[in-house]
Homo-oligomer: A and B are copies of this chain.
Amino acid sequence: MASSGEEWSPDTLAFMDLAIQQAKLALDSLEVPVGCVILEDGKVIAAGRNRTTETRNATRHAEMEAIDVLLDQWQKNGLSQSEIAEKFSKCCLYVTCEPCIMCAAALSILGIKEVYYGCANEKFGGCGSILSLHLSDSKMLNRFTF
């Protein structure tokens, strides 16, 4: 996760803009407006938006949607578990709102390399606001690193 003090590159801003477009699509569907994109080697390979109302499943956050796009695709392509882990380790996520604790833990389990988020999630944020599941220097959470 990049810190908020950094200068953002045009590419970073462009990727966040794509995430915002996903959030707008969610809003058009009367969802809580959160959107994201996932990049591998600097290329957008998946997008997701919050679909909790449409799916009637409160866990279908934007990040989970985007992750499942990739998993479906990689599984169909016959990638092994270690090949999938290897691919996730090269992926960055851009999301409009800080991942919640569930999503932050899922991203850690999958081994996503980096997360960039827009606004903080002061109620449920798992990347600094409530918990810091991305920190590698926590003794208790040393497997929960991005």
Contact = CB atoms under 8 A, between A and B. Distances in A.
Interface string A45-75: 0000000110111110000000100010011
Interface size for chain A: under 10, 10 to 19, 20 to 34, or 35 or more residues?
20 to 34
B58 A75 contact: no
Nearest to A55: B75
A3 interface: no
11 contacts: A55-B71, A56-B71, A58-B85, A58-B110, A58-B111, A59-B110, A100-B109, A105-B105, A124-B143, A124-B144, A131-B131
Contacts of A101: 101, 105, 133, 144
Interface in A88-144: 100-102, 105-106, 109-111, 123-124, 126, 130-131, 133, 140-141, 143-144
